[in-house]
Amino acid sequence: MEISVSGKNMDTGTAFQTHAEDALNAVVGKYFDSAVSGNVTLEKADSGFRVKTRVALSRRMELEATGFAHEAHAALDAAIEHAEKRLRRHKRRLKNHRGTVTEVEANDVFEAPMMVYAGAEQLDEAALDDSSDALPPVVAEMAYDIGMMTVEQAVMKLELSEDNMLMFRNSSHFGLNVVYRRGDGSIGWVDPRGLRDMHS
């Protein structure tokens, strides 16, 4: 697997790059023998370092994991440990449902426009005191991929990512669904179609 290692406004150094490549290849290789590519990003954060890892396990499935520590190599180790936990859980799900989980095809995915609005901590006092109904300023615009998949596929994809929610089209009825991380660590599922069926 080809891995790129970079630093955000900093030099990672050869030792860190070698450590990142060897560790990520080793942990991903334990569970997947056909991963496409990966990248590791090191950045300073507060009083320590943050390491973000992203691995393309297949065309439509990605693994994300983040680690934080006072030392760069320790932050990398934390990210790798986090990645392995997610890979282990994902592999166990695949084994328990062998033959029932297939990859989402590229033509089953469409893009929806997504906007990110400024939060309260990003606004100045004047904006916070504004009593109008105007939306806060847009800080980012991007595309959000909405794939056609089963609920099980959506849960597995969410578990491999760092995201808090995932919107998808339910392959059983083509309606929009959401899976999300709950405060207690479990995963919730919202299906408006299912609610309508309950009251029909």
pTM of this structure: 0.70
Domains observed in the chain:
2-96 (3.30.160.100), 106-199 (3.30.505.50)
Q: How would DSSP label each residue in 10-72?
A: S---HHHHHHHHHHHHHHHHHH-S---EEEEEEEEETTEEEEEEEEE-SSS-EEEEEEEESSH
pLDDT class of 135 with cuts at 50, 70, 90: low
Token look-up 């990110």 returns: 116
Token pair in block for residue 170? 């339910």
pLDDT tens track for 81-124: 999 999 988 888 777 765 444 454 444 666 777 777 776 565 55
DSSP 8-state symbol, 163 = -
Say how many C-beta atoms besides its own lie within 10 A of residue 28's C-beta.
22
C-alpha neighbours within 13 Å on the C-beta side of residue 18: 3
**Residue 148: alpha-carbon gap to chain centroid:** 17
The average pLDDT across 8-34 equals: 92
Helix (H, G, I), strand (E, B) or coil at 1: coil
Q: At what angle do helices 72-96 and 14-31 cross, to 10 degrees?
A: 10
